[in-house]
A and B are shown apart, each in its own frame.
Chain A
Amino acid sequence: MNWLIEWAAYLPQLMSGLGVSLMIAGVSILAGYPLGLVLSVMVGAKNLAVRTLGLAVVEIGRGAPALVILYLFYYGLPKFGIAFESITAACLALSWNAAAYSSEIMRAGLQSVARGQHEASAALGLSWSHTFFRVIMPQGMRSAIPGLMGVAIQMFQGTSLAYAIAVPELMKSAYNIGSQDFNYLQIFTLAGICYAAISMPATWITVYFEKRMARHA
């Protein structure tokens, strides 16, 4: 019973942290998806320079831990005189992350579109942009939806790493409360419940979409 009373007292402060977490996740997804689409096209480009650049951005964004990219933006770049606020650094780093992961998913989706669709478009004389945006993308993105939802969940969880650069998000709020009263167990449990309360239903919805798509494939 004690726990519940304490939780009720902590909740308002934690909720403002959760708001920051959701904001960062939202920004990184909204920036990451379109960037990811651009990257997925770059990686498939014929021009070697474009392709190499695209690949480098994707491979670093996926291959390096999010924490490292976060530190690079927040602690690394200021040494060159480029300084960001911690929230901005978090948004930039996670956007890169989101773009890299979603580009791979989108590329797989675009590649899953049957060859005949490209051929039919060519035979009809449709231009590249009409073929891509009106024929290939609508089909490719459909199969990419569950994966992209997964990226969104991953980004939401990834915002917890912004704790390490002192962004006042959910994890940081929990830590602050904990270091006042030293009841870390209660507060981190509550923080975990907050994360799970969003991630778990989101995962279930994703799985539902995945199954539905497998059925209609």
Chain B
Amino acid sequence: MKKAFKWSNLYLWFVFILLYLPIFFLIIYSFNAGDVMQGWDGFSLKHYVELFADTRIIEIVVNTFLIALLSSLLASILGTAGALYIYDQRNRLIKNIFLSLNNILLVSPDVIIGASFLILFTVVGFSLGFASVLLSHIAFSIPIVVLMVLPRLQEMNQSLVAAAKDLGANNWQMLSRVILPVISPGILAGFFMAFTYSLDDFAVTFFVTGNGFSTLSVEIYSRARQGVSLEINALSAMMFIVSLVLVLLYYVISTRSSKNKKRGTRLVTPATEGL
């Protein structure tokens, strides 16, 4: 049977090619034996060798991932607490004020967030570097986590909370055994979102970094101004692979937890253990 030709499919492929072509162009040239992106001089891994010899770049990569991991972890905790507060708030006005503040932070341009953080840090005399970057990353990640967690809370059956209380659970037991496990997919999604936002943030970091501390996006930007070395291409290729792995990881975790639910095996510790 001959498959019918579909314009929509053609369009889809066109868009995908348009989106991914520059990335693949970059990756392919990371294997170029020459030093520029004009003309193919043969296959070589020399830019990768250069990359791994560049201790400053390695250090920056480690810093970037450390910032991303720490900021998204802390933002997940704080954001979940914030979402719980907004969810639990009975006063409509206060609830809406907090929600709006959260959303404004989410849509406001990075440049403004970055500039305001710079002003804040200078005014209070906070030295720029690792801590200032970490704090600002946590700050812009919290609204993302709140946005991912809040719908889960709102979808949650209200009577679950009533049932936990009815069965004798105190607030902490209710939270740890019922609410958190139920909203955990939202927290997980929030964590991954915050992680990727932190990884590729340029604007905010650019403002609040200093004293020699740098993250990848800022470093690549400053190097690119002096002409793009193919070492950057090698680095970008590696980063692309890492992103791909992250996406796959998220996919595997989320499908496995839903499969587990179906089979009846446990992701969470059985209620009889612990506590």
Do these two chains interact? no
B residues at A contact (CB < 8 Å): none
A residues at B contact (CB < 8 Å): none
